[in-house]
Amino acid sequence: MKLLLILNTPPPYQGTTIMNQFLLDALQEKHIEYTHLRIDSSKELKTLGKFDFNKLRSAFNILIGIYANRKDYQMAYLVMSVEGFAFYRHSIFILLLLLLKKKYILHLRGLGFRNKKGPGKILTSFIFKRSYLIQHSIYNSFDIAMFGNKKVFYVPNGWQDYYKQFRKEVESRIAKTTKDVNIVFLSNLIADKGLFTVAESMLNISLDPLFKGASIKWNFVGNWESESVKKSFFDYINANKLYNYIGHIGPLYNDEKYLFLAGMDILTFPTFYKHETWGNVILEAMMFKIPVIATRYVAIPEMVKDNETGFLINREDPVALADRVKVLIKDRERGKRMGEAGRRLYLQHFQLDTFKKNIIEVLQTVNR
């Protein structure tokens, strides 16, 4: 099997680029030959999805690479973009692969194909009918149900297990007898990831007489979507006098992030982001035995089993989020049981080695 990979790798550090790097690692571990054409994509969160001339130059270079390396690969793998310039850029890559009579696999790590109209819908239908597709979960199949395809494979993400490295911190948190509670929102600080749903739930709990004086800290780990979102968030915090409930705000990386996460009691992830398909942050919490409160949205129910590994709520429902947080604050043992169940589910289905095994099997199946 000889592969052509057309994908971007970190930076920026976001779910898609990190998973792309995991794929490269898996191919190297299996000594599978590949040619990697790296897409010149956004280096910062604020420029994601926006056109610039570097991206145009990169697209031309990749077209040249697809043709120049045509004798060196049998099959191509792309992470297909959903919107804007990136969608049409990838479409042109695929059309060239079709002209060269190459098999190709499209990994769909974003949502929105069902909303295509006009030329975009026609192009998507033409490409998908000739494609092997990968989605994270059957929960996301609604997004492509209107299109035909050769075959769809479902490959859940996996994540490297850092539990042993931070076991002392995790077990110390679980065993603590103090009443302080640390809650974390771990994501880029994007409004549609549920940032303000969390902020409103903070206000709800702060106004509840039963929780007056409770030692609760809400932490927000990630980069800001924009200066305007940052301003709106702090305006809300200050207007409602919530600053005493705020802990860490801002990005953390690598071991620093995991050391911090190991000390968290609850993860809140009430996302309704339009391109959300999975949520790796949930896996990071599960490996550290942290109960998760998240939206009943896309593939999240595959990880968060309601009332077992955490709670599922409807989107943009700060009252429900606050209620579930209150349950876990009042019943610490329930939170511990959920955390243990989450770790078991992670070990069974979502370890990094499991992802690598599954993705390699898909590549080998299509290559036959």
Inform me whether the pLDDT recorded for 41 exceeds 70: no
User: What three-state secondary structure class fits 197?
Assistant: helix
SS3 332: helix
Which residue, among 280, 284, 246, has the nearest Cα to 262 in the 3D structure? 284
Q: Which of 210, 214, 187 is nearest to 268 (CA)?
A: 187
Instruction: Decide if 293 contacts 323 (C-beta within 8 A).
Output: no
Going by pLDDT thresholds of 50, 70 and 90, the confidence category of residue 324 is very high
Residues 127 and 94 sit within 8 Å (Cβ to Cβ) = yes
Tens of pLDDT, residues 85-121? 899 999 999 999 999 999 999 999 999 999 999 999 9
Tens digits of residue pLDDT in 233-268: 999 999 999 999 999 999 999 999 999 999 999 999
Q: 135 CB contacts (<8 Å, ≥6 apart)?
A: 108, 141, 143, 144, 152, 153, 154, 155, 277
Q: Does the pTM exceed 0.85?
A: yes
Reported confidence tier of residue 46, pLDDT bands at 50, 70, 90: low
Q: What is the mean pLDDT of the segment spanning 124-138?
A: 96
List the beta bridge partners of residue 108: none
Asked whether the beta carbons of 220 and 245 are under 8 A apart, the reply is no
Per-residue tokens: 317: 């429902």
Residue 45 has pLDDT above 60, yes or no: no
pLDDT at 50 over 70: no
User: What is the C-alpha separation between 49 and 110, in angstroms, rounded?
Assistant: 12
User: If you average pLDDT over every residue of the chain, what do you get?
Assistant: 94
